Amino acid sequence: MPNAGSARLFRRLILTLEMIRFEHSVFALPFALTGALLAFRESPLDTHAFLWKLFWIVLAMIGARSAAMTFNRILDAEIDARNPRTRQRHIPAGVLSTGFAWAFTAVATLVFLFAARELNSLCMKLAPVALAVVFFYSYTKRLTSFSHLVLGLSLGIAPAAAWIAVTGSLDPRILLLTLAVTFWTAGFDIIYSCQDYEFDVNAGLFSLPRRLGVAGALWIARLLHVAMIACLLLLVRDFQLGWLSLAGVGAVAALLIYEHSLVKANDLSRVNAAFFTVNGYVSVLFLLFWAADMYVGRRL
């Protein structure tokens, strides 16, 4: 029956979105939108044209992240099945088939490529490079202890990509925001990966917690978040932003301090709160403060 088939398809789509934590698109998207707003200040686009750009940027971000996350779940299914923390994920638990996950990855990739084509020719030319970066991350835990930085770059390219989407070219200043997001993401991924220290050791996987121990890895995460704040302060200077942007940086710094206070080398019970909740607030508050600064300063 068509209705039964449609219901099964809808159920599988919902399960896939659960599997890839679709709601966590909020992590990188606000930084991409901030990059787009900064680019809009420098471009001759009118508001209507810019809003269309934002639509395609959001669609591209959703497509790229959905494809990358589903690919990661497919590639890691066998590892996830052996890890007590992840064995209940949809593919190893048999809730979702690998075939459907591959089909979803293909569709999400096509959505990303279509959105990139609609933005401009440079975005389309660079789209395969972006896909290569986000797909390559899934292999890195098998290769290097610095996989966290590759994940950081996967999210960090978003604001630079948004700048290119709006202006059709790249301004080196926006790379400070790429660095900030890279350091931020790598830092919180190190915190999250501390949960798997023992499993990584036994499975022969690479991570900074395995290489340095949990306490040492947490210190690297702190240093990366200090580097993020430094990049944001340089960005405020280079774009001549105002006090609201500085307040936004202060809010981000306060949230990161709180995040690190939740996690101790001998107590990882609050890692999920640090990872999911705090970092969601970091990205959203950052966008709100910086957008408000540009609006109040008549830069939009």
Q: pLDDT by residue (tens digit) across 159-177?
A: 999 999 999 999 999 999 9
pLDDT band at 193 (very low <50, low <70, confident <90, very high): very high
pLDDT for residue 23: 65
Q: pLDDT tens digits, residue range 115-136?
A: 999 999 999 999 999 999 999 9
pLDDT for residue 24: 67
Q: Which of 25-34, 45-54, 73-82 has the lowest mean pLDDT?
A: 25-34
- Output the pTM of the full model: 0.92
User: Is the predicted pLDDT of residue 243 greater than 60, yes or no?
Assistant: yes
Domain boundaries, the chain: 2-296
pLDDT for residue 2: 56
Burial of 22 (0-12, 13-18, 19+ CB in 10 A): middle
pLDDT for residue 1: 47
| Cβ-contact 54, 139 below 8 angstroms | no
- The mean pLDDT value of the chain amounts to 91
pLDDT for residue 6: 79
Q: The domain 2-296 is classified under which CATH number: 1.10.357.140, 3.30.70.20, 1.10.150.530, 2.170.190.11?
A: 1.10.357.140
User: Is the predicted pLDDT of residue 222 greater than 60, yes or no?
Assistant: yes
User: Is the predicted pLDDT of residue 274 greater than 80, yes or no?
Assistant: no
